[in-house]
Each structure stands twice: as structure tokens, then as C-alpha cells.
Amino acid sequence: MSKSKIRIRYAPSPTGLQHPGGVRTALFAWLYARHENGDMILRIEDTDKSREVEGATEYIYESLAWLGIEWDEGPDKGGEYGPYKQSERLDIYRQYAMQLLEQGLAYADPYTNEEVQQFREQSQEASKPFLFRDYRPDSPPEWKEGLPLRFKVPDLKTYEWEDAVRGQSKAGPESLDDFIILKSDGYPTYNFANVIDDHLMKITHVLRGEEYIASIPKYLSLYEALGWEAPINATMPLVLGSTGGKKLSKRDGSLPILEYRTLGYLPVAINNFLATLGWNDGTEQEIYTIDELKNKFTIERLQKAPARFDIERLNYLNGAHIRKLSLQELYSLSSPYWPESSKDYDDGYRQKVLGLIHERLKFLSEIPELTEFFFTDPENTFQPNEEQAEWLGRTLNSLEGSDFTEDDLENRLRNLSIELEVKPGKLFMVIRQAVTGSKVSPGLFETLNTLGKDTVIQRIKTIA
Ligand code: GLU
């Protein structure tokens, strides 16, 4: 028997800028599609006009394109099962809603908001959960434009399904209700549209967050009413903030995804980080290339336990991927990030400076902060005490005769520390502060060598 081709969709709503959580869903879908030689479908779920944010759809395309997540079918790409934007499929939803109405599986909702509120209160007084079906009208009005249409859940039974991550799952009739399928504005609800589209687009796997688990019985009962087979559900683990909050926030380092581009994170590092938020391949491996992820990713290895969004881990992974680049590759990626003051210097010098921070760089927007003193005299607040000023004076004497190769600088300064009877680390720190204005810099001898004799001597003279 031939296995049918995997078709998995990413179905974002353009209600805000893409954040890491949404992108993780897209990435999982894409990796799984590639792993299985299947198709990835991008569907834009824009049926809630009141929550739509201008530019959000373009932001989705741009984010995914930046990360190299490619879809095989979608609004901008076309495909056999389009259109792929829900707002362009309204007649399709209408057709199925009318079919359910004719079959007696849907009815017009005649109630005002006030009436529904009263039902809610009645349920509360009776200490029962509010279910609309308890107030289902005996003789609903004929449906007409402007009235919401509700699904009439036909069978109050227990549903069982196999979640590809969580295994056997079930829910009883308490999770079934008469939900709205067409709203008064003529648009479908998410609950209705996702079922129609997943079926018509021949989706085999649906990856969703935990918040959808409670709705799955509703979808299953709708699939059943329509005589369709439901796709496989796979529930992704939650992502919690590192600061303990349930919802990821800016405080956790969670930003609209393209801001990471501005900050100089590499797409491969973002993908590595997001892919391992709730997934592992059963080994201790932390650093993955995209090809490795495509080869190894399966839905079955998604975790049930929540994952933690730890920005320090992203920084670590980004640093690790930066170190894997050749200096040449890093240099070409770095061009937008150089400080203004570096513009007067040639490529050779800038590249040499970059070489000195390559090991330590966590993201590219750190470049100005880490390199500024190579291009311009620092605003130096370092004030040596008498003893340190004496050391700096002796340093000047010694450096006057140096050819400024790293070896010669090292020899001279180590000898000086012996002469002065001071630990090398102590002496070097004073020199470093005098020359760079900071306690952290690349190795001292490389730094002095790169800055060159004139600059170094002039800076020490200014301080000492
Ligand atoms: N449009 C939904 C959202 O963005 C997608 C949910 C789903 O994947 O079915 O939240």
C-alpha cells in the first residue's frame, strides 16, 4: 500500500507581527514536510477582520523567507488547492454552511447578546458550565443574511483520537457544543473554516498549540457530520518564558522575529534555537545545521513537557554558528553593522579587527560596542593611581623600541612585569584600560599590534 504524501500546513492569522512561537510552528511544519518529502502549505487565516493588522501578511512572508522556510503552496505561490487566503474562500465556506443547514445540521441563531448573557447567568446559577446547546431554540427562524449560523452538534458522545505527540486522547460530550460556523458578517469562524480548508486542501497533519486541544472534539464532530476523515493532530509543547511567566514577553527576549535580523542573529541559529524548543533527537547534540534538522526532525520526537525560551541559549547558539563561519563569510555578513567611525578604514583593517572578536561575538549588532576603540579614541574614564601611572610610564619607555609585532610586544611587557615585580595580569589590565578604555578587549598583544605604535603611544601618554 503506498503511503499518501504528507501535507502539512502553517496557518497563521495576520493579527500581529510574527513572534518566535508562530515561527516555531512554521519551522516544525517545514522540517517535517522536508523530512517526509511532503508538502508544506501556507494558508493565511484572515477571517477576523476586526483583529487584522496591516502589513502582517507581508511580515509573515518576509519572516519565513529570511529564515529560509519555504512553502510549496500558498497565496503568493498558488497550487492546486487554492485560494490560500481564507478571505478569498468565502463562497466555499458559505456552500458548506448551506449544506449543513439543509441537512438539519445547522440553524440560525436567533438570540441577542443580552439573551445569551441571560443563559450564561442561568447556567451559572445552576452551577453548570454554560453550553449553548442547552438553550438550543425549538423552532429557529429561517436563516437569512446577518444572522449567525450555528452547527447543531448531532451526537453527544465521547471522542477518541490519537495525537501524534500525546498519544491516545479523549474527551466526553461536555466538550461539544453548538458553535457558530458563519458569523453575522458572513465570514466563517476559525472553528469552521479550518475544518473545511484542512479537508479540501488534503492536509494530513495539523500541528497546533495546546490551547486547541479542548476544541478538537468539536472539529471531530464536524468532520463526522460532513462525512470526512479528520487529519492527524499533533500538539506542540508550550513555550514558557524564562522569567517564569506563562506568556512569552519582551522581558524574556521574545521580539517580533525580524528584529532578530536587525540585531544580527543568523537564520541558522534562530532555526536551531526554535527547532530545539520542545524537540530533540534523543542525543545531547545542541548545534544543528539546517540539513541535520531536516534529516532528523520527526513529529514523534516532539516533547509533551513545556519548553523554556532562554535568550542566553539563543545567544550561545548564535555565537557557536558565528564561530563556524570563515572570517571572510562573517565579514560579508557584517557590513551593515560597522560603526560610523570605521568608514575611514580599509577592508583589511576592519577584517583584522573582526578576526579579533570573531570568537567572542554573539550577534552582529555587538560589533560597534566591541570594536569602536579600534577606530576612534575612547572616552576614557580610567584614572590610574600613582603606582599605575608609574607602570604606564615604564610601558611607554619599553614600547618606544618595539617593532610592535605580537611576539615583541609580549616579550617586552612580560619582562616589564618581572622588573616591576607585579603580576602580568595586573600590569596588562592597566595597559588595556589605558589604551581601550575598557576592562574587556581581545588579547592585549593582538590589540596593540592592530592599533599600531602611534595610536598606542599617544593614548598611553594621554592617560599617564
Ligand atoms: N490561525 C490560527 C492562529 O494563527 C492557526 C491555528 C491552527 O493552526 O489551526 O492562531
Residues 6+ away with beta carbon under 8 Å from 185 = 49
Q: Answer for the pair 225, 181: CB distance below 8 angstroms, yes or no.
A: no
Distance of alpha carbon 22 from alpha carbon 421, whole angstroms: 60
Joined grid coordinates for residue 129: 458550565
Q: Which atom of ligand 1 is nearest to the CA of 25?
A: 8
Which of 85, 128, 170, 250 is an active site residue?
250
Joined grid coordinates for residue 282: 534523543
Residues 6+ away with beta carbon under 8 Å from 321 = 266, 268, 269, 272, 287
Q: Which atom of ligand 1 is nearest to the CA of 208?
A: 8
Measured CA to CA in angstroms, residue 115 lies from 121, 135, 152 at distances of: 10, 10, 19
Distance of alpha carbon 404 from alpha carbon 453, whole angstroms: 6
Q: Which of 8, 13, 47 to mutate to test the pocket of ligand 1 (most atoms within 8 A of CB)?
A: 13
**Per-residue pLDDT, 128:** 93
Is there an atom of ligand 1 within 6 Å of 194 CB? yes
439 is catalytic: no
Separation of CA 41 and ligand 1 centre (Å): 13
Nearest to 297 by CA among 68, 6, 33: 33
Q: Which of 9, 25, 30, 208 to mutate to test the pocket of ligand 1 (most atoms within 8 A of CB)?
A: 208
Number of residues written out for the chain: 464
List of the chain residues with pLDDT < 70:
1-3, 244-245
Is there an atom of ligand 1 within 6 Å of 433 CB? no
Report the predicted TM-score, pTM, of the whole model to 2 decimal places.
Answer: 0.92
Is there an atom of ligand 1 within 6 Å of 414 CB? no
Q: Where in the chain is the domain with CATH 1.10.10.350?
A: 386-463
Which CATH architecture describes the domain 386-463?
Orthogonal Bundle (1.10)
Helices (H), 360-405: 367-371, 386-400
Is there an atom of ligand 1 within 6 Å of 239 CB? no
Is there an atom of ligand 1 within 6 Å of 198 CB? no
Distance of alpha carbon 436 from alpha carbon 444, whole angstroms: 10
Q: Residue 168: what are its φ and ψ, rounded to 5°?
A: -60, 130
**Per-residue pLDDT, 245:** 65
37 burial (CB, 10 Å; 0-12 / 13-18 / 19+) is exposed
Q: Residue 8: what are its φ and ψ, rounded to 5°?
A: -125, 140
Which CATH architecture describes the domain 7-237?
3-Layer(aba) Sandwich (3.40)
**Per-residue pLDDT, 247:** 77
Q: Which of 45, 86, 207, 236 to mutate to test the pocket of ligand 1 (most atoms within 8 A of CB)?
A: 45
DSSP 73: B
Is there an atom of ligand 1 within 6 Å of 60 CB? no
Which sign, positive or negative, has the C-alpha torsion 6, 39, 254, 301? positive
Separation of CA 439 and ligand 1 centre (Å): 49
Q: Which atom of ligand 1 is nearest to the CA of 207?
A: 8
Is there an atom of ligand 1 within 6 Å of 45 CB? yes
3-state secondary structure of 404: coil
Is there an atom of ligand 1 within 6 Å of 371 CB? no
Is there an atom of ligand 1 within 6 Å of 11 CB? yes
DSSP 135: G
Separation of CA 11 and ligand 1 centre (Å): 5
Distance of alpha carbon 163 from alpha carbon 209, whole angstroms: 12
Q: Where in the chain is the domain with CATH 3.40.50.620?
A: 7-237
Q: Which of 17, 42, 194, 219 to mutate to test the pocket of ligand 1 (most atoms within 8 A of CB)?
A: 194
Q: Residue 430: what are its φ and ψ, rounded to 5°?
A: -65, -40
**Per-residue pLDDT, 1:** 42
